[in-house]
Structure 1
């Protein structure tokens, strides 16, 4: 008679693949999950030699958002310190000083407290008095700005204005910005105030940090510090780029006070190609930066027959009129700035002769317009273009 108990024991014992063994699953900790996610960013940089950008590619955009949040989190940056081989998080600092907390309080959350946190007892009064907290309050003359806000929103919606990544040099009187989805107008930058603060590594330091007056489209205003606004815009905001009309107006004012008596010398233009060839229309952010002494429309009317225009029609994206200035020299400055991004391609003319057009660059339109503005304002020598990260860097 068959002994079922013994047979079952033989089956359980004869298990060379370990199929019948019970394995205990190991749960992944929060820190481990954080390290795995950060390693994905490291791998992207290893393969692409640049940080992830706010791209239309969903995977890259996800890494960009993840890195952006990590750069604001001191606790997570500390955990990832040993894995940060690209020094992505080396400047993440912990906001623990009163001055840091107040500088970040752009919403005025620390103001109007029933108890003054600075009324300390039994402590020697040998410290500098902390400056009053910036706060948002109703703007009494908001009606003077309301129509301008409506016009600005309309032009942004119609594409006449664009939102670009905020940079420090954008902070000028009369400019518009978007902070946390709210449009604001930087009306006034007061006289610079020298602030003294304690730095953990360098001791006492001084810096210029003027008060400002900015108006928000929701009817509020604030007198925060300029550096506080800049910090918030860098983290959660954008700059509203000028319209072509305003850019041209600034251009004419930026060179020796242009008047009606000054001579127009030509045009600087930025064009996009309407070529139907796959090797051309598949290139993202491809633009031609050139100049002409005639009208731009006259210059491009025969574009489909000229190799300099890639033997195809073109579309005018931006245009600048020059006064008392050699437009060729102005064009040369821009070309030198983007030299690492020049398109390397050979185009055949109608006779089959190949030529290499040298005025096409693979750079976003926002960056091109920004560099033209820096050149107009005579600030271009303070900046350089990093072609690997596709960013403008302050020297």
Structure 2
């Protein structure tokens, strides 16, 4: 049987000038070689900086990349046996914070692109060309934004969306998922409204992720043929990035009950019996306009001791019953329409605390009634209240 040499024997023989046949090492696959090379880069980082790579916007681009890579190596048990013999720092067994600002399915290449780094190679351990974030942003502006030659087609859409936001038919909310990006949808990104006019057929990226080429029109008259994932990243990175909801279908409320309808509340128009000088002077045009889910009689029962009712009894001028409607949104819409005529007054409540009633408006009742009718048929989006003329006037374009 052949003698097995120990490391001490090998050293002794080497001192005596005797060569020992090297032990054969099993050949590694290209993938294993890349994994080892990537892990060794992480080890060199630890040796140089004295700590494992960490996540964070304030960290170096490569440290953030190494941190993501280390997270994955810890998760992938198939490589543990390969790496444990060279893991002198115990990196595979350590644990640390995982990046929270990066998509769960983002790959190293996508991470580098987001950080402003372009890797012109399929091997992410070899970075042959690195551009600064500023250079990349400038290049993207040139490549992705151009004048929209047929913007006149889209301009009315942006105007309509703004009107519908103003009248409460649309709202804005934080962007959440890539699935929200679809043709006909509006977003707010970089302080501009963006309209997804077209979407090409979806495809899978080299990393197995779904993507699609878009035609996005911006309200400043430019357009971009960006990828869906690029728009997704832009919306996530923008603290003010928003999705504009679709417009509500149908009238805001009905004046009768259909089968299956349930009452949602009541708009009430009140007139104050207060002896305050400003009320006495404008009693016929000063109205409180609100929305309640209960009975109006119950809402006004304690008007005398309620500062929002000017600490006085009130007269019910009119009520409008609502069906299947968001009361809060409707009330906000009415108050926005008449905001130029809102009464500016501060009074003390019964405990001496200052109160600023917000639901009193210097508006003739016939104008309130007209506004309700226009809300019913949807035409209110084209009108605003003019205090000088004391009437609703058509909203000026632009």
TM superposition score normalised by structure 2: 0.35
